[in-house]
Amino acid sequence: MKRISAIADRASLPALKLLAALNVMFLVLFFAVALLLAGPARAQAPACTGSDMLADLAKRDPALLAKMEAEAKKTLNGEGLLWKLEKPGSEPSWLYGTMHVTDPRVTTLEPAAQKAFDASRTMVMETTDVLDQKAMLAGLMAQPDLMMFTDGTTLTSLLSPDDAKVVDAALQARGIPPASVAKMKPWMLSSMVALPACELTRKAGGAPVLDVLLAQQAKAAGKTVKGLESAADQLRAMASLPMEFHVQGLVETLKLGDRMDDVIETMVILYQRGDTGMFWPLFRNALPSDSSEDQGYAAFEAAMVTARNKTMVERGAPILAEGGAFMAVGALHLPGPDGLVELFRKAGFTVTVADR
């Protein structure tokens, strides 16, 4: 029987940082599908097997769970996925936290969110580039260094011999010849190894993540769809982090194997509860870290969350101020003093939680 051990085994913190990165930037998930389709066909989608780590933790280490829950309760704006944004003289707009997966528990909107979405005239998402993947890839080819090593570097050259064996074996198990991705930057492989096989297979079968599903529905309903970032913006944010961060996260995630399924399952459960304030305690406190990892975490949060939140507010505020807009972005962007909810308040909006 598979052990529920992603926390209990005290696995490496970089693996959870990688999961955080993938859930604040869904662009790389599309490359995972391309890699999956290049591999051997699957007769049927494998069953999702992840288990709730917090339920297991409640039995084995309730003190740690209590610590994490206490931190979550202190998180500013840490409860709720749907937020109402108002300014005098215009009708309300809405901010909604998504999770970049195809899981039906996520892609089925709660009634309040569905009502707000249906009434909106404009849908705003992180990037509209993903809606035309051929055009997106053509644009990114003009900046190949965001996706590939353009010098003599290879992924293997950045790894120790032992780590190279781990990576090669994991890629081969997924039907990807290591030589075929030797020049690919590690963040382009991250989503392939971090997400459950059931999730990747659903994507390969054409199931859209929630953000894309909403954009498709918005277009079908005649709504305007706008983006806040470009694909290149998102990849530049990833590329700004130290290469060591990406390499270490990739290797440690591969070492965890299917235990990463437990992390995804736990995140889905937290998402269903609208407990966005619990995400960061999970990433910060579930596993031990040393000072160098703390520094890497700070760099990650600054580049992938804080800086991008400011950009989202700068570009999104004029659209939301017109009223009748529904802005859907990763739920990890919502809570905290530098989260979107608080930043929109500072931008002059009255922001109230609408699903509590």
Does residue 354 or residue 12 have the better pLDDT? Answer: 354
In whole angstroms, give the CA distance from residue 349 to residue 88: 9
Three state DSSP letters for 244-274: HHHHHHHHHHHHHHHHHHHHHHHHHHHHHHC
User: Is residue 225 in a domain?
Assistant: yes
- According to the model, what pLDDT value does residue 194 have? 73
pLDDT value of position 105? 95
The stretch 73-80 carries a mean pLDDT of 97
User: Does a structural domain hold residue 7?
Assistant: no
pLDDT digits (tens, 9 = 90+) for 213-237: 999 999 999 999 999 998 888 888 8
Model confidence at 154: pLDDT above 90: yes
- Domain annotation covers residue 115: yes
Residue 5, Cβ neighbours under 10 Å: how many? 15
Pairing of strands 325-330, 93-98: parallel
The residues, ordered by sequence, that sit 6+ positions from 356 with a Cβ below 8 Å of its Cβ are 79, 80, 274
pLDDT of residue 12: 43
Q: Is residue 3 part of a domain?
A: no
Tell whether the model's pLDDT for residue 278 goes beyond 80: yes
The domain of 101 spans: 13-39+48-353
Q: Is the pLDDT of residue 287 over 60?
A: no
Contact between 32 and 191 (Cβ < 8 Å): yes
CA terminus-to-terminus distance, the chain = 38
Q: Is residue 150 part of a domain?
A: yes
Calculate mean pLDDT across residues 119-130. 94
Residue 97 has pLDDT above 90, yes or no: yes
Q: Which of 81-85, 103-107, 132-136 has the lowest mean pLDDT?
A: 132-136
Model confidence over 1-38: pLDDT tens digits?
333 333 333 334 455 555 555 554 555 555 555 555 45
Contact status, residue 350 vs residue 118, Cβ threshold 8 Å: no
Instruction: Report pLDDT for 295.
Output: 57
Give pLDDT, residue 334: 96
In a domain, 8, yes or no: no
- Summarize the confidence of residues 274-282 as an average pLDDT: 91
Q: Which residue, 1, 2, 10, 5, is CA-closest to 293? A: 10
Q: State residue 15's pLDDT score.
A: 52
pLDDT exceeds cutoff 70 at 327:
yes
Number of domains in the chain: 1
pLDDT greater than 80 at residue 279: yes
Mean pLDDT throughout 316-345? 96
Residue 273 has pLDDT above 50, yes or no: yes
> Do the domain assignments include residue 340?
yes
Residue 4 lies in a domain: no
Summarize the confidence of residues 134-143 as an average pLDDT: 78
Buried/exposed 50-78: b ≥16 CB within 10 Å, e otherwise: bbebbebbeeeeeeebeebbebbeebebb
Report the pLDDT value the prediction gives residue 28, as an integer from 0 to 100: 52
Tokens for 138? 């053509």
Residues 6 or more apart from 355 whose CB is under 8 A from it?
A: 80, 81, 82, 110, 112, 113, 274
Does pLDDT of 82 surpass 70? yes
Average pLDDT, the chain: 83
Percentage of the chain exceeding pLDDT 90: 46
CA atoms within 13 A on the CB side of 18: 32
Q: Average pLDDT for residues 64-79, to the nearest whole number? A: 95
